[in-house]
């Protein structure tokens, strides 16, 4: 086993570079998808409920009364399910600024990914890429506090729903929680790049 440990240790720098490439792939792919309607629509619940980001939308904070007589966020009435296009909903999102914001956010995410992967050859650039990855992940994880959709709703049924609310994560919530890994990855990248920078001055 000692030889295995030694071999694995000798590849540490390679593994960290693989982490940088992995972060780049996630950032470039997810960021690139922000240019498409379904992905832009999908992030609306996160953005409109966030105290850090809601001001980017024109309709954040607006409420309506639904068919059941409950007051809900206006955006809930204009959700486009993935794979379905409803022009009426798209028109609302255009007025809301959904797509313009998504294009900008996607560009920022892709740029962060590029900074991270460049860190393989340019530690000073990678340092900032890792730091931005960490900060972005902290903001994303804050959605676990601000976004109702990250937890399973109580929609009723034949009997009372036993598993709803905290800590029962919905599909959206499980996606957000994974940013814990991105956050830790960002810190590893920051420390690795800082180490390489200091070695140049040693």
How does pLDDT run across 146-164, given as a tens digit for each residue? 999 999 998 888 887 889 9
The span from the CA of 186 to the CA of 136, in Å, is: 9
| Burial of 190 from C-beta contacts in 10 A (0-12 / 13-18 / 19+) | buried
DSSP state, residue 150? G
Q: Which residues of the chain have pLDDT under 50?
A: none
Note the pLDDT of residue 158.
Answer: 86
The span from the CA of 24 to the CA of 113, in Å, is: 4
Tell me which residue of 195, 199, 51 sits closest to 127, measured CA to CA: 195
Note the pLDDT of residue 66.
Answer: 85
The span from the CA of 84 to the CA of 55, in Å, is: 27
Query: Model's pTM, two decimal places?
Result: 0.92
The span from the CA of 90 to the CA of 184, in Å, is: 36
């Amino acid at each position: 086993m000692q030889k295995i440990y030694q071999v694995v240790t000798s590849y540490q720098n390679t593994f960290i570079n693989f982490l940088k490439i992995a972060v780049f792939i996630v950032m470039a792919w997810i960021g690139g998808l922000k240019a498409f309607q379904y992905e832009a629509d999908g992030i609306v619940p996160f953005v409109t409920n966030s105290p850090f980001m809601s001001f980017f939308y024109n309709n954040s904070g607006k409420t309506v009364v639904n068919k059941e007589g409950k007051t809900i966020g206006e955006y809930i009435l204009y959700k486009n399910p993935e794979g379905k296009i409803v022009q009426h909903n798209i028109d609302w999102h255009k007025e809301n600024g959904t797509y313009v914001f998504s294009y900008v956010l996607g560009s920022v995410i892709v740029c962060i990914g590029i900074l991270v992967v460049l860190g393989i050859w340019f530690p000073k650039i990678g340092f900032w890429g890792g730091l931005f990855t960490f900060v972005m992940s902290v903001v994303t994880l804050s959605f676990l506090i601000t976004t109702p959709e990250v937890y399973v709703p109580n929609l009723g049924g034949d009997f009372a729903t036993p598993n709803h609310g905290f800590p029962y994560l919905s599909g959206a919530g499980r996606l957000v929680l994974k940013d814990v890994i991105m956050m830790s990855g960002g810190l590893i990248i920051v420390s690795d790049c800082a180490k390489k920078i200091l070695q140049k001055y040693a």
